[in-house]
């Protein structure tokens, strides 16, 4: 295993009697990467996280964190690992200060200046100063998750594993938490399990997608930077904006849709609205292997309209996620029916 590989799995499998929760998952996470771990419910994300954090053991395969085996060296794994589940393990009657000191005892951090320095570091990094002396019971969900992130960072672990850490947060709290996450990810390895694709696009440098396989457990269906996974989608989108031009008359949305829908390869055309009354915009979805831009320019010119905007974009990560995960499920259903 390369020295910069901080999380390593090979053919990782977890069975419960006849049910396979995880089916031969293999991936590496390198030093300094922030990886978003995506998958539909039941695909095996949480099971994989629990194996990596030594809460449960695998049935087969290899799992290592910072070079330590999750099965044979669980104490060593826990020493190099920071873990934050969906709901941080907090004691509401404690103040934030008391809780972090308690966690420092559990982590066997030596008392004195080194412990004070470690606590000050997480208080600053996680933005805990304004409620450091408050009881945890009085904090908002977002503040509590930041305290949970603080306990996971207290011993300065090289690897962080976060399992649905923003599930109970409102949009403002999520963005604030993810900003902290992106900052700490610059100096350590982070893998975050989530259902929220926008979080992955905001905070992660790489995406790992696993999909359900009927009766066979989750398996990896995509792995790479967000843009490379978006490129795996079967479609592209075009944003087209037009003005009146030489025709002297701004087309209506229906007229523009009808004109562009006639193009070969334009699978769908929908109005997306305009910021003023001098233009009209539509979105066109077409196959990835065809470039419609020349035809779109020609169609607009033929109507004597003015082309104000023409952009070709890869599909959103959410669309590709649906394509990949649903295609995997369909393949398994077809195979089972044969």
pLDDT digits (tens, 9 = 90+) for 49-76: 999 999 999 999 999 999 999 999 999 9
Domain presence at residue 111 = yes
CATH number, domain of 119, equals 3.40.50.300
For the question of whether the overall pTM of this predicted structure is more than 0.85, the answer is no
Task: Give the CA angle between residues 31, 36, 41 to the nearest 5°.
Answer: 140
pLDDT > 90 fraction of the chain, expressed in percent and rounded: 53
The verdict on 272 and 164 lying in the same domain is: no
Residue 335: CB atoms within 10 A of its CB come to: 11
CATH number, domain of 254, equals 3.30.70.1340
The verdict on 257 and 225 lying in the same domain is: no
Q: Which helix or strand (DSSP H or E) is residue 228 part of? A: helix 226-230
Domain presence at residue 332 = no
The verdict on 199 and 78 lying in the same domain is: yes
| Confidence at residue 333, expressed as pLDDT on a 0 to 100 scale | 52
> CA-CA distance, 240 to 115, in Å (whole number)?
58
Domain presence at residue 321 = no
Of 230, 253, 281, the domain-final residue: 230
> CA-CA distance, 186 to 33, in Å (whole number)?
8
The verdict on 148 and 261 lying in the same domain is: no
The alpha-carbon radius of gyration of the chain (Å, integer) is 25
Range of the domain at 124: 5-230
The terminus-to-terminus CA distance of the chain in angstroms comes to 40
Treating both helix axes as pointing N-terminal to C-terminal, what angle do 113-125 and 141-153 enclose, rounded to 10 degrees?
140
Q: Tell which wins on pLDDT, 19 or 213.
A: 19
The verdict on 166 and 272 lying in the same domain is: no
Domain presence at residue 330 = no
The verdict on 108 and 199 lying in the same domain is: yes
Write the CA distances from 95 to 52, 64, 113, 221, 294, integer angstroms: 30, 35, 21, 44, 64
The two counts, helices (H) then strands (E), for the chain are 11, 14
Cβ contacts of residue 151 below 8 Å, gap of 6+? 84, 88, 89, 99, 100, 103, 122
| Confidence at residue 334, expressed as pLDDT on a 0 to 100 scale | 45
The verdict on 93 and 70 lying in the same domain is: yes
Alpha-carbon dihedral 53, 326, 318, 238, rounded to 10 degrees:
150
Of 194, 213, 230, the domain-final residue: 230
Q: Tell which wins on pLDDT, 305 or 247.
A: 305
Number of structural domains in the chain: 2
Domain presence at residue 116 = yes
Question: Does the pLDDT of residue 311 top 80, yes or no?
Answer: yes
What does the mean pLDDT of the chain come to?
88
How many CA atoms does the CB half-sphere of 28 hold within 13 Å? Answer: 10
DSSP-derived letter for residue 167 is T
Domain presence at residue 84 = yes
> CA-CA distance, 20 to 39, in Å (whole number)?
16
Q: What is the mean pLDDT of residues 263-270?
A: 90
pLDDT digits (tens, 9 = 90+) for 38-47: 988 888 888 9
Domain presence at residue 15 = yes
Of 203, 230, 257, the domain-final residue: 230
DSSP notation for 61-78: EEEEETTEETTT-HHHHH
Domain presence at residue 334 = no
Cα of 186 vs its chain's centroid, Å? 16
> CA-CA distance, 254 to 231, in Å (whole number)?
30
The verdict on 117 and 25 lying in the same domain is: yes
Tokens linked to 83: 């873990």
The verdict on 90 and 170 lying in the same domain is: yes
For tokens 């929220």, name the residue: 196
Q: Tell which wins on pLDDT, 24 or 215.
A: 24
| Confidence at residue 331, expressed as pLDDT on a 0 to 100 scale | 55
The verdict on 161 and 274 lying in the same domain is: no
Question: Does the pLDDT of residue 337 top 70, yes or no?
Answer: no
| Confidence at residue 86, expressed as pLDDT on a 0 to 100 scale | 80
The verdict on 38 and 173 lying in the same domain is: yes
Three-class secondary structure of residue 175 per DSSP? helix
| Confidence at residue 17, expressed as pLDDT on a 0 to 100 scale | 86
The verdict on 247 and 195 lying in the same domain is: no
pLDDT digits (tens, 9 = 90+) for 78-123: 999 999 988 888 999 999 999 999 999 999 999 889 999 999 999 9
Q: Which of 51-60, 169-178, 247-256 has the lowest mean pLDDT?
A: 169-178
């Amino acid at each position: 295993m390369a020295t910069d590989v901080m999380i390593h799995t090979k053919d990782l499998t977890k069975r419960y009697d006849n049910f396979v929760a995880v089916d031969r998952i293999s991936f590496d996470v390198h030093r300094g990467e922030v990886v978003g771990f995506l998958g539909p419910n039941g695909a095996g994300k949480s099971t994989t996280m629990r194996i990596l954090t030594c809460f449960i053991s695998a049935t087969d395969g290899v799992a290592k964190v910072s070079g330590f085996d999750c099965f044979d060296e669980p104490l060593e794994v826990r020493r190099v690992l920071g873990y934050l589940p969906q709901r941080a393990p907090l004691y509401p009657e404690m103040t934030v200060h008391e809780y972090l000191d308690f966690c420092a005892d559990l982590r066997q951090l030596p008392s004195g200046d080194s412990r004070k320095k470690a606590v000050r570091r997480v208080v600053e990094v996680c933005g805990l100063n304004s409620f450091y002396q408050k009881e945890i019971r009085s904090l908002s969900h977002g503040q509590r998750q930041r305290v949970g992130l603080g306990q996971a960072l207290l011993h300065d672990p090289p690897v962080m594993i976060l399992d649905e850490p923003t599930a109970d947060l409102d949009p403002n709290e999520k963005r604030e938490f993810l900003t902290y996450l992106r900052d700490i990810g610059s100096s350590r390895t982070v893998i975050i399990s989530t259902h929220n694709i926008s979080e992955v696009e905001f905070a992660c440098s790489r995406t790992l997608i696993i999909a359900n396989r009927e009766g066979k457990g989750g398996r990896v269906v995509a792995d790479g930077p967000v843009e490379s996974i978006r490129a795996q989608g079967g479609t592209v989108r075009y944003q087209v904006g037009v003005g009146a031009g030489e025709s002297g008359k701004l087309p209506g949305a229906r007229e523009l849709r009808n004109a562009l829908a006639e193009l070969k390869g334009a699978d769908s055309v929908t109005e997306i609205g305009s910021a003023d009354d001098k233009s009209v915009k539509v979105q066109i979805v077409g196959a990835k292997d065809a470039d419609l831009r020349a035809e779109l320019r020609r169609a607009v010119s033929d109507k004597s309209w003015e082309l104000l905007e023409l952009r070709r974009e890869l599909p959103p990560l959410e669309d590709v996620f649906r394509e990949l995960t649903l295609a995997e499920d369909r393949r398994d259903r077809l195979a089972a029916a044969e």
